[in-house]
Structure 1
Amino acid sequence: MMVPPALSGRPVPGGRALALALLGLVLAGGIAVLGGPVADLLAAREQIADARSRLARMREAAARPAPAAPLWAADGPALLAAFRARLDGLAAGRAVLIDAARLEIDPARPGAPRLAAELRGSAEGLHGLLQDLEGGSPQVAIARAELAVLRPAEAEAERPTLMRLALAVRGLVIPAADGAEAPR
């Protein structure tokens, strides 16, 4: 009896090549059928990852507090009045007195004049005023601050140290166009 070579366990001549060719045809057919959808799925996955990244950045930006507006007014006297009102508001409730506030026009920067102030008070009161001045709204950038002791503390009279603060800040003059009020 004659047993075919494939069943006898003996190698079939050209059988391995035939099996590899069939496997290649099956793989090529699978890639042709699934290649387009698989590539589309991979591209969609990248687009989703990019969209998630943009969304995370947008959420972070939305969670940040809005920057404070600078100290500004339509002209010099209004800017000085706004500065004085800001100082008065910050000095209220603190051991601080405002001795003077003035506007100093800077010819090099006419749109950003200097505002100077001289204050007296306790170290704690002046420190708190400076912190609130820089950190609150409207935003004020302190250009110069000089602190000096006017009178040392007296333990017998229960008087704290009296200090003097001279500071200079910059404001913005934004003239209103055509007499209209400038935006706030």
Structure 2
Amino acid sequence: MIRIRDLATRPFLVRFAALGLVVAAAAAPLSALRDASHAIEAARDRLHRALALAQRQRARPPLVAADGDTLLAAFRGRLDALAAERAIVIDGAVLEPDPARPDLPRLRGLLRGTSAGLHGLLRALDTEAPRVVVEDADLSVVRPVDAEIGHPTILHLAVTARGVIAPLRAGTRP
């Protein structure tokens, strides 16, 4: 048995032991709080990565057809649809085969319109499905602005793009 010689120190030891118990009791929730804080930070990191992944642009399908004539018709139809929404006139669309890449022929479109209309058309070709990959675009002025009459500048755009020829496999429908 342990004896404490001085009875005056006994209340001090009891208080010291009680303080130790209080500190030990407080340490458990603090460590749980720290673990919860780390878990919240990890969850926030996962959420930010998931949001960044969701905000990435989805891959848009390219302009694809079974043969050259169908590809040219699809390209012309795409230009017609986009020109109908804007102040644009389509002067022509042609298919230029590429001997080095027969499955990726060049599509050439000749258009006239305002700068805003042509800009909107090029943006739609690049961003909306079916996506048309523009390789070259030549822009020139057909008629400058006429402030007296109120006519805007009319531009001529010769755009060269790529299409994809993917022959249908046996047993698939167009």
Superposition TM-score, scaled by structure 1 size: 0.66
Mark the structure with the bigger radius of gyration: 1
User: Which residue matches 1:151?
Assistant: 143
The alpha-carbon deviation at position 165 of structure 1 amounts to 0.2
For structure 2, which runs of at least 5 residues remain unmatched after alignment?
7-34
The alpha-carbon deviation at position 93 of structure 1 amounts to 3.2
Equivalences for residues 30-179 of structure 1 within 5 A:
57-58=49-50, 60-62=52-54, 64-178=56-170
Aligned counterparts of 1:126 and 1:7: Cα–Cα separation in 2: 98
Aligned counterparts of 2:69 and 2:100: Cα–Cα separation in 1: 19
Aligned counterparts of 2:171 and 2:5: Cα–Cα separation in 1: 106
Once the two structures are superposed, residues 69-120 of structure 1 have per-residue CA deviations (whole angstroms, 9 ceiling, x without a partner) of 1111111111111110110000003221100101111111111111001101
Once the two structures are superposed, residues 5-41 of structure 1 have per-residue CA deviations (whole angstroms, 9 ceiling, x without a partner) of 85447xxxxxxxxxxxxxxxxxxxxxxxxxxxxxxxx
**Aligned amino acid, residue 160 of structure 2:** A
Aligned counterparts of 2:163 and 2:2: Cα–Cα separation in 1: 99
RMSD over aligned Cα atoms: 2.9
For structure 1, which runs of at least 5 residues remain unmatched after alignment?
10-41
- Aligned pair count reads 143
Superposition TM-score, scaled by structure 2 size: 0.69
Go from structure 1 to structure 2 and tell me whether the alpha carbon gap of 1:166 and 1:54 turns closer, same or farther (over 3 Å shift): same
Q: Which piece of structure 1 moves more, 51-60 or 119-128? A: 51-60
Aligned counterparts of 2:98 and 2:145: Cα–Cα separation in 1: 38
